[in-house]
Amino acid sequence: MVAGNWKMNKTLQEGVALATELKQSVKNPKCAVVIGTPFIHLATVAELLKGTPVKVAAENCADKVSGAYTGEVSAAMVASTGAEYCILGHSERRAYYHETPEILREKVLLALENNLKPIFCIGEVKEEREAGKQNEVVKAQLEGSVFNLSAEQWANITLAYEPVWAIGTGLTATPEQAQEMHAYIRSLIAEKYGNEVADNTTILYGGSCNAKNAAELFANPDVDGGLIGGASLKAPDFLTIIEAR
């Protein structure tokens, strides 16, 4: 899978223009293609891309079912737009909006209950990597928010390993660092759900992945694609990354 994460970029009109470019260019991709857009784009972009290989994701959903939560958008509302995926646990949401493992566990469950497929992000910050704690951080993130799921629920989960020190910084993890962590994550899934489930789990790499370095990252056996921030905002770059998978 190659998934874009537009973050808080693009007006509705700009988003429609970018989605239109992708619609015209992505015809027979060799992998699943998803774009994560702001909430306000979802309904329009999902309609525009209906019947094409490009699927749509929200970048978040509420941790509550419905009711008096001003400004929030529920998983049911996201699903009603035609979006099929929901990015959850992004490091920006964890850091700036104080999303805890418990809150994320609720969000994942609500997404699944509403037939949305979570793209669940995990990854360590720079200090944790420097202290050699990346494996324990990532394991705790999985245990805290998604290892409560049944194997049946797990089948709808995509993981994205995103070292926080690599997001938007231009500091990409080396292919070796990415492979090492992805293999570790897969081993944790195998311990919990068995080898077959682990082999079938899509684990994306995210963090300054771009048109130049994508092929090298995707060449690793445990790197099943990418979650792409900045480079998903320009159609030619995003298309090159899709080709690289």
Phi-psi bin for 170: left (phi > 0), alpha (psi -120 to 50), beta?
left
Site for ligand PEP in 160-179 (CB under 6 A): 162, 167-168
Nearer to ligand PEP, 75 or 214 (CB): 214
| Whether residue 41 lies in the annotated active site | no
Residue of 209, 217, 223, 244 that binds ligand PEP (CB under 6 A): 209
Stretch that binds ligand PEP, among 22-30, 48-56, 191-199, 223-231 (CB under 6 A): 223-231
Instruction: Report the distance separating Cα 64 and Cα 193, nearest Å.
Output: 28
> How many of the chain's residues bind ligand PEP (CB under 6 A)?
13
Q: Please, which of residues 48-77 interact with ligand PEP by CB under 6 A? A: none
When asked if residue 141 is in the footprint of ligand PEP (CB under 6 A), the reply is: no
Residue 22 interacting with ligand PEP (CB under 6 A): no
Rounded-to-integer distance, Cα 53 and Cα 240, Å: 16
> If we measure between CA atoms, which residue out of 242, 223, 222 comes closest to residue 232?
242
* 208 is an interface residue for ligand PEP by CB under 6 A: yes
CB 30 within 8 A of CB 1: no
Instruction: Please work out, in degrees rounded to the nearest 5, the angle formed at the alpha carbon of residue 168 by the alpha carbons of 166 and 172.
Output: 35
In the residue annotation, 162 being an active-site residue is answered as: yes
Based on the shown chain and the rule CB under 6 A, indicate whether residue 227 belongs to the binding site for ligand PEP.
yes
Tokens of 225: 């694609």
Is residue 57 a contact partner of residue 119, using CB atoms and an 8 Å limit? yes
Q: CB of 83: closest distance to ligand PEP in angstroms?
A: 17
Tokens 């970029």 belong to residue: 9
Residues numbered 94-123 forming contacts with ligand PEP, rule: CB under 6 A = none
Contacting positions for ligand PEP (CB under 6 A) = 5, 162, 167-168, 206-209, 227-231
